[in-house]
Structure 1
Amino acid sequence: MTPTIQTADLHLEQGCLSATCILALDLGTTTGWALRGHDGLITSGTTSLRPGRFDGGGMRYLRFTNWLTELDRLSGPIAAIWFEEVRRHAGTDAAHVFGGLLATLTTWAELRGIPYSGVPVGTIKKYATGRGNAPKQDMIAAARARGFSPADDNEADAIAILNWVIDTNGGVA
């Protein structure tokens, strides 16, 4: 049985993140992601987890599991995962989707011994824009100012999380 990974395990020695593959996620029906590979190259995008017309309730989470596994196989091994930790949602459906994706992510990571941690929304927004309550357009503008071309705010949030992790050594800087 794999031991439970404590959030404290994510606080690595200074410079330790430079040679590892790290993943940042903005969980949702359209999940934003940013990945820094072993070579230092950053890639990002979005993946749609919208259920199809004839999908059962669990297909969204099964697709997410398969997507994570494929990402790990092609780009990994993933050494650590950070995600946007949302405490308040606009609606009940969004909260349910986030909770299901979070449960899927943490289970997937635990099974593989990959440490993970949430980053509060305000921390990400303040880091990227200087304001903890920045609107979506400001997050997109901040990502563009750093040389990225996010398709939407989900990708921009994931890019901001990844940059925050790199710049603060996962919050330990």
Structure 2
Amino acid sequence: MTQSDNTPRCMLALDLGTTTGWALRGHDGLITTGTASFKSGRYDGGGMRYLRFTNWLTELDRLSGPISAIWFEEVRRHAGTDAAHVYGGLMATLTAWCELRSVPYQGVPVGTIKRHATGKGNAPKEAMIAAARARGFSPVDDNEADAIALLVWAIETNGGVA
């Protein structure tokens, strides 16, 4: 199925983490947002969070897609080692998922997203939530607010992906 140039593409923005924020613009132009938890269970093996993430992406693509492009928040500094490991595993899973399906993806620096949303590249979490609310969204936390800001950035700047 081909799309005309004026039909919105299905675009996904992700704030990767144990609680992943997401924002999706569907083919109808409507934006849906939320968070998804990829916390490991007590009896889970080390790879279960990544299998759940893969299944979640596949289901999102099946229900709302096909997803034509994905943007993710590119984090260069983490508060702790565990957070860095989770982020790296989710990013590896995401990029492999995209490569297998020929879905273009792009990491966007945190400062770029914050600057576009608030005017400050080092804006605090509260400012990101306020910026999302000012655009008419109701994020439950900063993860969802960051994903919303990233999707808005991608839509307004074309995100550098054709």
State the TM bucket, normalised to the shorter chain.
over 0.9
1:58 lines up with 2:58 in the alignment: no
* 1-structure distance, mates of 2:8, 2:132: 23
Q: Which residue number in structure 1 is paired with residue 145 of structure 2?
A: 156
Tell me the CA shift for residue 83 of structure 1.
0.3
Residue number in structure 2 paired with 1:32: 21
Distance (Å, rounded) in 2 between the aligned partners of 1:105 and 1:17: 28
3-state SS, counterpart of residue 79 of structure 2: coil
Matched to 1:93, the amino acid is D
SS in 1 for 2:69: strand
* CA deviation profile, 1:119-142 (whole Å, cap 9, x unmatched): 000000000000000000100000
- Bigger relative contact order (CA 8 A; separation at least 6): 1
The runs of 4+ residues in structure 1 deviating greater than 2 Å are 15-18
1:32 is matched by which residue type in structure 2?
G
* 1:74 to partner: Cα distance: 0.1
Query: Which moves more between the two structures, 67-76 or 16-25?
Result: 16-25
Secondary structure at the aligned position of 2:148 is classed as helix
1:8 paired residue number: none
**Which consecutive residues of structure 2, in runs of 5 or more, have no partner in the other structure?**
none
Does the CA contact (< 8 Å) of 1:29 and 1:49 recur in 2? yes
Q: How far is the alpha carbon of 1:116 from its aligned partner?
A: 0.2
Aligned match of 1:9? none
> How far 1:169 moved relative to its partner?
1.0
In the alignment of these two chains, the number of paired residues is 158
Instruction: Kindly state the Cα deviation for residue 18 of structure 1 after the two structures are TM-superposed.
Output: 5.2
1:17/1:166 contact within 8 Å kept? no
Going from structure 1 to structure 2, the CA distance change for 1:54 and 1:124 (only over 3 Å counts) comes to: same
Q: CA contact under 8 A between 1:17 and 1:169: conserved in structure 2?
A: no
Verify: 1:87 aligned to 2:106, yes or no.
Answer: no
Deviation (angstroms), 1:156 = 0.2
Where does residue 12 of structure 1 map in the other structure? none
1:171 offset after TM fit, Å?
4.2
1:130 alignment counterpart: 119
1:47 paired with 2:2, answer: no
- 2:45 and 2:62 map into 1 onto residues whose CA distance is 26
CA separation in 2, counterparts of 1:24 and 1:17?
20
Any unmatched runs of 5+ in structure 1? 1-14
Matched AA of 2:61: D
8 Å contact 1:33–1:158 — kept in the other structure?
yes
Q: CA RMSD in A?
A: 1.4
Partner of 2:12: 23
